[in-house]
Structures are given as structure tokens and as C-alpha cells.
């Protein structure tokens, strides 16, 4: 049981095997304290995400420390509002901003040297700025997907996010290998971003289905705008679902067998598709 006030309890912590190699290299190069400090900042950053997520009632699974950062994994995948997604994504960089102010305060109080304060501030600023890049699965990429879901069908917002992530990762690799110096840490980050976006892209239909199942069970915010969607009678239900927005309520407009326009609430489509197990059904089935 998770006690109130300790939102990270019950979270599993994992350390990537390459983290040990990074620590060994830091000892050899005499930068052990610097590396440990950066990973503590990563941990604080991820705990910021977890704290915000738990405040919304999200189910959090693990925090994994990677050689170049960290990631907090959750079971809420397409099942929460865009507003919550944005708040949770911003919570990590917000904690870095708090750490920057803390470092300056400690320096002003005479507890830290100027050199250590600058290192601490620059580390936090770099971490916050990098994570806010609009590249999935970075915080900025998650924010981008949430913002797009207000204006685009949810499936389209998902795809645009992954396309942006792949393009950004590709540009990072091009810069690293052909324009700038060959920095292996940037290469690893670029390859990680490519892999993460490819895996997420392959699961886009599963993410869409989770969104639909959650919408079927819990509905949408009563204040959500109403979106009227005109479709053909022979249009498959699954194709209509791909036009659903995450932050809107849908009324489907279709002509019945005599040519008169009919308005169908989104619940009718959910019931026919999921409860009736008509996964190959078309919209016209609901007007017969």
C-alpha cells in the first residue's frame, strides 16, 4: 500500500547495465562526483514526473536510470487527458528549475563554491532544456502529442509525434557524425530516440485501442467540445474511430437507407463495435 506523502513508494527502480560502465569510466577519469551528481539530478527529475502522476491517480510502474538519463514508466497509455499529460511532462523540468534556484541559494549562502554552483546549474539547465525538445519520448515530445490531440484525431497526433521524433533523432545523428565532432554520447542518444519511436510507432494501434476502450467506459469531460463527423454508410467503424479526437465528443452524421441524415452519438458506435463484437462492421449497420 502506498502511503500518502510518499508517491514514489511501490515504484520499482532499475539501473541499466551500461550505467555501471559509465561509473567505471568516471572513476578512471576522475569525474566520479560529477557523474553521480548528474544521475541524482536525473533521479530527482523522474521523481518529479512520478509525484505529479500519482497526484492524478496514475499507475506508475518503474523508474529506470539510463547511461544518458532516465525514464518513468506508467500504465496510463492513452487513458488520461491531454491536460494531465502536459502537467506530468512539465513536472520533471520544473524540478530542475527548482534545483537551479536551490544551487544559486546555496552559493549565495556561502555553502557552495562558485565552480560547483555553476556545474550544478548548468547540469540542471541542460537536462531541462534537452528534455523539452519536441522529440518523443522526451518530455517535449509527450507535450507535443498532447497539444496535437486537441486539434487532430488522436491517431494522427500519435503518428505526427513519432514522425517528428524520428526526424529529430536523424538530424542529431547527422550533426554528430557529419557536421560536429563524433561525440559518442550524442550518438547513443540519437539511436535510443530512433529505437523508442520505432517501437512506439509499431504500437500505435494498440495505443488508439486503449484510448477507445477507456472512452467507452468513462466517457469524456462534459465540457468537451462537440465535433460532428460526416461519414459514408459503408465506412468501417474502425476507420471512423481513427478520426476521433481525444479532447472532443463526437456525433456521427450518416445517411440512412432512404437518404435522410441521421445523427449517431459516439456511444452507439462503441456499443456496436465492442459490445456487439462487430469489429468488421460499417456505420450503415447502425441505421438499418
pLDDT tens sequence across 257-281:
888 999 999 999 999 999 888 889 9
Binning pLDDT at 50, 70 and 90, where does residue 180 land? low
Q: Using a pLDDT cut of 70, give the percent of the chain over it.
A: 89
Quick one: which of 41, 37, 43 has its CA closest to 15?
43
pLDDT of residue 3: 45
Segment 240-256 shows an average pLDDT of 95
Report d(CA 106, CA 222) in Å as an integer: 47
Binning pLDDT at 50, 70 and 90, where does residue 107 land? very high
Bigger pLDDT: 229 or 39?
229
pLDDT of residue 34: 74
Question: Quick check: 18 pLDDT over 80?
Answer: no
Q: Using a pLDDT cut of 90, give the percent of the chain over it.
A: 59
Segment 176-203 shows an average pLDDT of 80
Binning pLDDT at 50, 70 and 90, where does residue 67 land? low
30: left (phi over 0), alpha (psi -120 to 50) or beta: left
For residue 155, the Cα-to-chain-centroid distance in whole angstroms is: 14
* Helix residue ranges per DSSP H, 30-153: 32-55, 82-108, 114-131, 139-151
The chain-wide mean pLDDT, for the chain, equals 88
Half-sphere exposure of 209 (CA within 13 A, CB side): 8
Segment 174-197 shows an average pLDDT of 78
Domain borders along the chain are 1-132, 135-217, 219-286
pLDDT of residue 62: 87
Segment 132-141 shows an average pLDDT of 93
Looking at the DSSP bridge assignments, the partners of residue 253 are 230, 263
pLDDT of residue 65: 78
pLDDT of residue 1: 39
What DSSP designation does 183 have? Answer: -
Amino acid at each position: 500500500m502506498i502511503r500518502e506523502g510518499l508517491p514514489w513508494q511501490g515504484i520499482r527502480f532499475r539501473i541499466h547495465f551500461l550505467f555501471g560502465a559509465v561509473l567505471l569510466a568516471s572513476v578512471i577519469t576522475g569525474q566520479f562526483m560529477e557523474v553521480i551528481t548528474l544521475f541524482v539530478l536525473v533521479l530527482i527529475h523522474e521523481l518529479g514526473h512520478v509525484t505529479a502522476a500519482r497526484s492524478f491517480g496514475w499507475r506508475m510502474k518503474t523508474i529506470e536510470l539510463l547511461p544518458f538519463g532516465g525514464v518513468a514508466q506508467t500504465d496510463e497509455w492513452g487513458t488520461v487527458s491531454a491536460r494531465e499529460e502536459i502537467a506530468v511532462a512539465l513536472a520533471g523540468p520544473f524540478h530542475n528549475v527548482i534545483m537551479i534556484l536551490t544551487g544559486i541559494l546555496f552559493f549565495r549562502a556561502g555553502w557552495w563554491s562558485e565552480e560547483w554552483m555553476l556545474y550544478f546549474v548548468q547540469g540542471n539547465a541542460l537536462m531541462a532544456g534537452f528534455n523539452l525538445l519536441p522529440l518523443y519520448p522526451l518530455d517535449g515530445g509527450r507535450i507535443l502529442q498532447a497539444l496535437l490531440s486537441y486539434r487532430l484525431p488522436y491517431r494522427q497526433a500519435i503518428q505526427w509525434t513519432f514522425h517528428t521524433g524520428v526526424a529529430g533523432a536523424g538530424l542529431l545523428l547527422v550533426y554528430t557524425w557529419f557536421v560536429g565532432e563524433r561525440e559518442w554520447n550524442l550518438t547513443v542518444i540519437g539511436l535510443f530516440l530512433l529505437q523508442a519511436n520505432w517501437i512506439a510507432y509499431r504500437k500505435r494501434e494498440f495505443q488508439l485501442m486503449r484510448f477507445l476502450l477507456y472512452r467507452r467506459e468513462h466517457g469524456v469531460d462534459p465540457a468537451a467540445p462537440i465535433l460532428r463527423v460526416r461519414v459514408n454508410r459503408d465506412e468501417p467503424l474502425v476507420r471512423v474511430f481513427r478520426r476521433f479526437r481525444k479532447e472532443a465528443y463526437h456525433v456521427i452524421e450518416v445517411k440512412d437507407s432512404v437518404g435522410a441524415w441521421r445523427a449517431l452519438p459516439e456511444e452507439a458506435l462503441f456499443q456496436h463495435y465492442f459490445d456487439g463484437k462487430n469489429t468488421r462492421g460499417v456505420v450503415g449497420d447502425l441505421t438499418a
